[in-house]
Amino acid sequence: MGAARDIGPRILVTGFGPFPGAPVNPTEALVAQLTAAPPRFEIPCTLRMAVLDVDYATIATQLSAIGRDFLPDIAIHFGLAAESCGFRLERLARNSHAGARPDQAGGLPASERICAGPPTLSSSLPLDAIAAALRGHELPVEWSDDAGGYLCNTVFALSRAGVCDGLDPAMSGFVHVPIAGEGPQFRLTPAALRHGACVIVQTCLRQWASGRNAS
| C-beta atoms surrounding 44 within 10 Å | 12
Active-site entry in 28, 77, 164, 176: 176
Active-site entry in 45, 90, 97, 204: 90
Amino acid identity at 68: R
Q: Is 90 a catalytic residue?
A: yes
Q: Is 182 a catalytic residue?
A: no
Spatial distance between the Cα atoms of 142 and 198, rounded to a whole number of angstroms: 17
| C-beta atoms surrounding 39 within 10 Å | 14
Q: Strand, helix or coil at 184?
A: coil
* Residue 12 near residue 64, CB atoms below 8 Å: no
Query: In sequence order, which residues have a C-beta less than 8 Å from that of residue 20 and are 6 or more positions away?
Result: 101, 102, 103, 104
What is the per-residue DSSP string for 71-125? --SEEEEEEE-TT-SSEEEE-EEES--TT----TTS---SSS--SSS-SEEE--S
Q: How many helices (DSSP H) and strands (DSSP E) are in the chain?
A: 5, 8
- Write b or e for each residue in 160-183: b if 16 or more Cβ atoms lie within 10 A of its Cβ, otherwise e: bbbbbebbbbebbbbbbbbbbeee
Q: Is 152 a catalytic residue?
A: yes
| C-beta atoms surrounding 140 within 10 Å | 17
Active-site entry in 77, 97, 152, 164: 152
Which residues are identified as catalytic?
A: 90, 152, 176
